A and B are shown apart, each in its own frame.
Chain A
Amino acid sequence: MSVHPQFAEALALYAMGTLDDPQDLAALQAHLSRCGDCRRELEALRADMALLALSAVGPQPPARSRERLLGAVAAEPRMERVTQKPFVVGRLRPRWLSITPIAVMLMLAVFSLLLWRDLRNTRRTLRHTHAQLEQTLDELKRTNAELAEATMVRDLLHAPDAWPLTLVSKKTPPQPQIKTVYSKQQGALLLMASNLTPLPENKIYQLWLLPADGSAPMPAGWFKPDGKGNGMMFHKMSAGVIAKGFAVTIEPAGGSQTPTMPIVMEPAG
């Protein structure tokens, strides 16, 4: 057995539990954890200690000591140990070391709890942020749609061939009125209505494009005015259709493919 000489004397003190220098103790314990030869020397030193201890054997304990022990054994329920105490290489083990694993476990438990709470809060924040993001995206889509429609309205109003036309009721006041702006190149039409007669729930006003070639009227969108008889509609259709006029009929909700007579609004004059 080859013992590292720098630890030889400390090893004997350690075996006896009398190595009191904390630095020497820490250095020796670290060394023992990786040196089999010194661990075996430690066992041999304990055997030497045992011989020294056995030199004191001789006196016998009084008889009452036996009865006392057996009484204590009988009175004490046996607690089976399922795990063995970890390997201990020396005696000078500070008592605080025995509570260190418990303290470490408690700290880990607290740390885990804090982590779990942080994770839960982070998830909650993430869900909230995700909901806000979806809401923002929806708003952005709506804004883009409105902007696109506004752009088309502006383009229509500024189109060189924009044809403003006012349709009026055949009857006298209150004078219902519908104004349309149509561009055949863009195939776009804007309608603005006012003072229209309120309709039943299942009816709508439908605009018809009257082609210049005399073919059948084409559906040009439908709308339902508000409580005051006002309404607005933007409608896209096939480009290039030359219109000679527009007309409005009352149709079932959802619109029709052919106009239902009578015509309630038509170009003025």
Chain B
Amino acid sequence: MRVSGTQAPNHKDDAALIARIRAGDQSAMADLYDRYAGVVYGVALRVLASTTAAEDVVQEVFLQLWRNPQAFNSDRGRLAPWLAVIARNRAIDLLRKRPPEDDIDVMPISTGVNLEDEASQRLVVDKVRGVLVELPQDQRKALEMAFFEGMTHTEIASKTGEPLGTVKTRIRTGLLALRKVLA
């Protein structure tokens, strides 16, 4: 995973970067882009399967952070996972043709996973991909349909023919499987 040129940012870097953005430093947005454009773009492209649409998500997510940097609280999480979830949600909105929100979500994300450096991040991504491969196909499919396609459990059940309860259980246990392996 590439989230920066040579070295992945750490927690202090995130806080300093957000402080500069809050102060109106436009060069901080260049640094932000250099560090995290890959995260936002990769997630959006995975959801939308369109480079143009994924670029639009990059613009939207970063501009909204520029407009409202208070939305991210560096005391309650890291920028990389936060931006990844924000990008996924924006992409799902586009995919589902939902009107975009006027503002960016204030959404604390607590993760104990080490993302401090690029090597750690690469390790995490490899593990996640490994967990996904090892998940039962039906479970992985339900999880991906919910996460990367934004389908509700009702829609998934309708499409797969599985009972609603089964779909719910598969989605949750799929997420917990990621947490368990990476704990």
Name A residues whose Cβ lies closer than 8 Å to a Cβ of B.
8-13, 15-21, 40, 43-62, 65-66, 68-70, 72-74, 76, 78-81, 84-88, 91, 95, 98
Nearest A residue to B2 via CB reads: A60
Which residue in B26, B42, B55, B89 is a CB contact (below 8 Å) of A56? Answer: B42
For window 93-142 of B, CB contacts with A under 8 Å fall at: 99, 101-103, 105-113, 121, 124-125, 128-129, 132
- Say whether B16 faces chain A, with CB atoms less than 8 Å apart: no
Cβ distance A100 to chain B, nearest Cβ, rounded Å: 14
Q: Which 6 residue pairs are nearest across A and B when measured between Cβ atoms?
A: A50-B81, A56-B46, A47-B111, A53-B84, A57-B42, A12-B172
Which residue in B2, B66, B106, B124 is a CB contact (below 8 Å) of A51? Answer: B124
Chain B residue contacts of A50, Cβ below 8 A: 80-82, 84-85, 109, 111
| Interface residues in B, total, Cβ within 8 A | 79
Which residue in A19, A65, A80 is a CB contact (below 8 Å) of B59? Answer: A65
Chain B residue contacts of A88, Cβ below 8 A: 105-107
A66 pairs with B33, CB closer than 8 A: yes
Alpha-carbon gap, A62 to B124, bound state (A): 25
23 contacts between A and B (CB under 8 A): A9-B169, A10-B168, A18-B146, A40-B110, A44-B111, A44-B179, A45-B175, A47-B111, A47-B112, A48-B175, A50-B80, A51-B179, A52-B147, A53-B87, A55-B125, A56-B47, A57-B1, A60-B37, A61-B58, A66-B37, A68-B55, A84-B106, A88-B105
Chain B residue contacts of A98, Cβ below 8 A: 101-102
- Say whether B19 faces chain A, with CB atoms less than 8 Å apart: no
B62 pairs with A49, CB closer than 8 A: no
Q: Do A16 and B26 contact each other (CB < 8 Å), given the known contacts A51-B111, A51-B113?
A: no
Alpha-carbon gap, A265 to B125, bound state (A): 131
B54 pairs with A61, CB closer than 8 A: yes
Mark each residue of chain B from 34 to 51: 1 if its CB lies under 8 Å from any CB of chain A, else 0.
100111011101110001
Q: Do A18 and B153 contact each other (CB < 8 Å), given the known contacts A51-B124, A54-B128, A72-B59?
A: yes
Q: Do A18 and B151 contact each other (CB < 8 Å), given the known contacts A48-B175, A52-B128?
A: yes
